[in-house]
Structure 1
Amino acid sequence: MFDTESPQLPVTTKQRPRTTGDLWNPSAANPTTVPVPLPVVVVRVDGPFTALDRKLWLALVHIAFPDLDKPGKIHEILISEIIDLFRRVGGRRDLGAKGTLQLTKKLSENTEAATLWQSIRRLAKTTIEWEDDDYMGINSLLGARMDKDARNSGKLYFTFDPLLAQHVLAPRAWARLNVHVVMKLRSKYAVTLYEILEAYANRENKTCTATIDELRAWLKVPDDAYQSWKDFRRNVVDIAVEEINTYADLAGFSVEYEGIREGKAFTKIKFTVAKTDGRQERETMLGRKAVIHKRRARAIAGLADPDNPPMPSGDALDAFRRKWPGNDPYEVIGLFQDKWRGAGCTVIRSPDGAFLKFAEGMFKARAKKGRVAA
């Protein structure tokens, strides 16, 4: 149910995903990514949604992401900055040209950056249907000011529907899309296929199997186009896969595929994703940083890392052997560390002193128990 105090859907993830990287400065070491929930990637989309529109939408999500949880927030960006971004990253030089902008069926105007404004208009007219285990929704992908004053200001004023924004902010499973990879891809089919397959790169099972009809629907291949497997493979799948593999180092994965027959006809297609060495190295490094960050956070909170228990020094072990000869110090260390975890992993300033004090108490308790038994 909806909260009557807020138009937002309840957040169900423990920690909301975030964007990474700098949109304006591509970097292989720090990729520019947007976490997009799977229902947004693989869902029914109705409208004139082109490859350019997909790229622009993803860039605008990255720009607005820090404020997506603020209902009604109007974001703004200079049109010149968007044009420069597409020129530097994607190589497109036509977005800033003057041309005709079709505002309605009967109304058109000559304007600067006509191609870019047409893309913005198409995004506003494109609807997306999404659903998961708990919710179903339908939204426009974008809201934007299209009046002449706004265009003459040189800025784009845009919004995201609060429901769609909340769904982007609190997905249960998402694909982390590299904005610069999407901008570099030329084929509209490559853009969509990349978005779909990125979701499989971090899975244990890195294969995606779909029927040909499902894949055609995902890629929005016209019903009357490439109806034979041979034409579909040559004009859609091969081109998309080749483009993705061209940018494998930047995307972080490569892809192979095979057609699956049922009888004499190909009815399914199986894609297999493999991470690049560079991506695996980055993820290993990020994992180490996450561990360090967790340890620092626990230390600030007065808690130690349960996976890094206190360990007495060699001097403490020598003292143990002199005081309690014939006893195994490492057995006592294990008991000492178990007690430390059971007590909540508090920070111990002097592991040597704490260990020897624990050992003394343990042996006194054993001696007392032995006297009572006798």
Structure 2
Amino acid sequence: MYNKFTDEKAIVCKGNNLINASYKLTLGEQRVVLAISSMVNPKDKEFKDYYITINEFAELMDINLSSNTGLYTRLKRLSGQLLSKRITIHEPDGDLQANWFSSIKYFNNEGKMAFSFDPKLKKYYLQLKQYTKYRLKNIAGLKSQYSIRMYEILKQYEKIGERTLTIKELKDMFQIGVNEYKLYGDFKRKVLLPAQKEINKKTDLSFEIEEIKTGRKVTSLKFIISKNPLVASNKKDECADVLEEICAASENMLEHDNVINDDYIDKVMFLFDEEITRKEAEQILKVANNDINKVKEKYIIAKQTNGIKNIVGWIIKAIQDDYKTKKRTIPGWDNTYKRDYDIDDLEQKLLEISKKASVKTEK
């Protein structure tokens, strides 16, 4: 197996819009993209050329190296196909269509290849604010192209613990055509269940699926995501370790509410997809009396709420007023939630709360 897929230090870090993009790659092509992605330093300001050996490329593409007949011809054909593969990223002002790579160069005498990412993808790999990261070895054992995509899509929401997608959204992400798997039963049998079986058996994630119906038809899926107890014990993924500590943190709260532990601040900052400062994390902890589970609970509500402009002020108000979600019944739908607070009223108070938080943290 290509060595980066067993390397503890090989980490893939992608912007969330890239995780949710629409594209279709073969299993081998995904392995190549992920192997090259793991070489990117998200702190860089510009892309570099990323190198793998020709033998490594062949291994990732599952080509038998023992057969020398037309080997380089096949490799160049496959790299040419990869070079032509497009990705559609849904941006706020419209869809961006780009190729994964702008160029792939062979160095025949040196036995290596240089990959150059399309410059349009720079903001989805470099200087990231909202992103998903995981160790490359976590997906090393996955043998289905859909399993890898499903893993990334669910990994993005691991902190939240659940994610709901319509069948249409999921098929769009996988670029499954309108004539493929027309029946939900076929989609479930050919795509969902094999991916679930592989992910639950071989990765640090585990998930269950709840079907949401409109009338008698399954139209959406709710994925219940958790850390995989069968695999996680063998992983040294620091991100997963932090999440585990967050879940247990309320049992070990500080004795004095007015004392904020630096480690707790780090955990709150890690919890948020949005970029927040240490002072903001400290203010949230003070309002929550160091109860990290309470912060997580309100953050889950926030992720289910549209139109939040000031996440820090909103969370502070949610903790103070103890916002909750409650189920309601809509004909033909399951698992639908309704807010028991007025969003317009809250938005009017956000600026005042933010100013107060800023004054307190500066003291």
Same fold (TM over 0.5): yes
Q: Indicate which of 71, 79, 82 corresponds to 1:111.
A: 71
Distance in 2 between residues matched to 1:229 and 1:66, nearest whole Å: 38
Partner of 1:74: 49
Task: Check if 1:65 corresponds to 2:41.
Answer: yes
- Contact 2:42–2:127 (CA<8 Å) still a contact in 1? no
- Distance in 2 (alpha carbons) for counterparts of 1:137 and 1:172: 19
Match for residue 31 of structure 2 among 51, 55, 64? 55
Secondary structure of the residue that 1:197 maps to in structure 2? Answer: helix
The equivalent of 2:17 in structure 1 is 39
Give 1 or 2 for the bigger CA radius of gyration. Answer: 1
Distance 1:225 1:130 in 2: 22
CA separation in 2, counterparts of 1:172 and 1:263? 40
Aligned to 1:26: 6
Matched residues in 1 for 2:110 and 2:18: separation? Answer: 32
- Work out the CA distance in 1 between the residues paired with 2:126 and 2:240: 27
Q: How does 1:222-261 map to 2 (within 5 A)?
A: 222-248=177-203, 252-261=204-213
Structure 2: how far apart are the matches of 1:173 and 1:77? 28
Q: Which residue of 2 aligns with 1:199?
A: 156
The separation in 1 between residues aligned to 2:128 and 2:361, in whole angstroms, is: 35
Q: Residues of 1 paired with 2:185 and 2:103: CA distance?
A: 41
**TM superposition shift of 1:70:** 2.9
Match of 1:266 in 2: 218
**Is this contact kept in 2: 1:96–1:112, CA < 8 A?**
no
TM-score by length of 2: 0.58
Return closer, same or farther for 1:230/1:283 CA change in 2, 3 Å cut-off: same
1:181 equivalent to 2:138? Answer yes
Partner Cα separation in structure 1 for residue 163 and residue 243 of structure 2: 24
Amino acid at match of 1:138: Q
- The equivalent of 2:83 in structure 1 is 124
Please give the alpha-carbon distance, in whole angstroms, between the structure 2 residues aligned to 1:113 and 1:66.
34
Kindly indicate whether the alpha-carbon contact (under 8 Å) linking 1:68 and 1:160 is maintained by their aligned counterparts in 2.
Answer: no
Distance 2:17 2:120 in 1: 13
Sort the Cα spacing of 1:23 and 1:283 in 2 relative to 1 into closer, same or farther, 3 A. Answer: farther
Q: Percent identity?
A: 22
User: Which amino acid in structure 2 is aligned with residue 60 of structure 1?
Assistant: I
CA 1:230–1:136 in 2, change beyond 3 Å: closer, same or farther?
Answer: closer
Deviates more, 1:230-239 or 1:163-172: 163-172
- Read off the aligned partner of 2:114 and give its amino acid letter: Y
Contact 2:102 2:116 in 1 (8 A): yes
Q: Secondary structure at the match of 1:129?
A: strand
Report the CA distance between 1:199 and its aligned residue: 0.3
Change (3 A) 1:79 1:238: same
1:92-107 to structure 2, matched below 5 A, reads 94=63, 96=65, 98=67
What is the number of residues matched between the two proteins?
A: 252
Deviation at 1:176, TM superposition (A): 1.2
Partner of 1:328: none
C-alpha distance in 2 between matches for 1:125 and 1:199 = 27
CA RMSD of aligned residues (A): 3.8
Deviation at 1:52, TM superposition (A): 1.4
Unpaired stretches in structure 1, ≥5 consecutive residues: 1-21, 87-91, 101-109, 295-305, 308-341, 346-374
User: Could you tell me how far 1:275 is from its partner in structure 2?
Assistant: 1.7
1:276 equivalent to 2:261? Answer no
Distance 2:15 2:189 in 1: 30
Contact 1:207 1:270 in 2 (8 A): yes
TM-score between the two structures when normalised by the length of structure 1: 0.56
Match of 1:16 in 2: none
Q: Deviation of residue 131 (structure 1)?
A: 4.2
